[in-house]
Amino acid sequence: DVKVTQSSRYLVKRTGEKVFLECVQDMDHENMFWYRQDPGLGLRLIYFSYDVKMKEKGDIPEGYSVSREKKERFSLILESASTNQTSMYLCASSPLAGGRYNEQFFGPGTRLTVL
Amino acid sequence: AQSVTQLDSQVPVFEEAPVELRCNYSSSVSVYLFWYVQYPNQGLQLLLKYLSGSTLVESINGFEAEFNKSQTSFHLRKPSVHISDTAEYFCAVSDTNTGFQKLVFGTGTRLLVSP
């Protein structure tokens, strides 16, 4: 059974703190993604990675960075959290394309509140 | 670049009634199309997808969607809904040429099924 896990379901941090959101997948997938989900805005891609140590900016990378030191783990980092980063964060993974589409599998999400 | 429009933010419906959730997309290239579902307090799950071939695609729980290229639409339908279908539904599009399979999501439609 495919599985994407996220380190926390709920997280409360203070403005200016450095925040780490962790995502682990057990499917040996090459691609991993970080989205944020906000009411009325849907899901927006923050960063994605197609290999270890490789990363690409998504549509809203400002204020975020990522790290992928191992194939199964993809971390989202908020260097200095701000209140406008209060959101639901979703991680996803998918296998290498190989010339065809492959489904993205999502984790349960981390609801981050920045006070 | 692609974009997805889900005009209805919320659709209330009675149990056993039919429902249609609308999705329109914009793209200058060929696309893959998807519907994802998010049940309360859970991550996203793929409901159905159109990659090629028959324009009518079906899910295992009775939903169907039809790809209409001329109208750039991919509306989701179910002839008779259940209480358990209450969830948020996201339409998404992916450029067929994107090797990393980036998804662009709509803003979501919340389906509320009442007895």
Per the structure block, which two tokens stand in for B53?
């071939």
Among B4, B46, B107, the residue with its CB nearest the CB of A103 is: B46
pLDDT at A72: 96
C-alpha distances in Å from residue A90, one per residue of A6, A68, B65, B70, B77:
8, 16, 25, 33, 26
Per the structure block, which two tokens stand in for A79?
């260097």
Among A35, A101, A106, the residue with its CB nearest the CB of B32 is: A101
Q: Scanning every residue of chain A, which has its alpha carbon at the shortest distance from the alpha carbon of B2?
A: A59
Residues A20-32 have pLDDT tens digits of 999 999 999 999 9
pLDDT by 10s per residue, chain A, length 115: 668 999 899 999 999 999 999 999 999 999 999 999 998 899 999 999 988 989 999 999 999 999 999 999 999 999 999 999 999 999 999 887 665 667 889 999 999 999 9
Contacts of B53 (CB under 8 A, 6+ apart): none
Residues of chain A contacting residue B100, judged by C-beta atoms under 8 Å apart: 31, 48, 50, 56, 97
Q: Scanning every residue of chain B, which has its alpha carbon at the shortest distance from the alpha carbon of A30?
A: B100
pLDDT by 10s per residue, chain B, length 115: 789 999 999 999 999 999 999 999 998 888 889 999 999 888 899 999 998 888 899 998 899 999 999 999 999 999 999 999 999 999 999 887 765 567 899 999 999 999 9
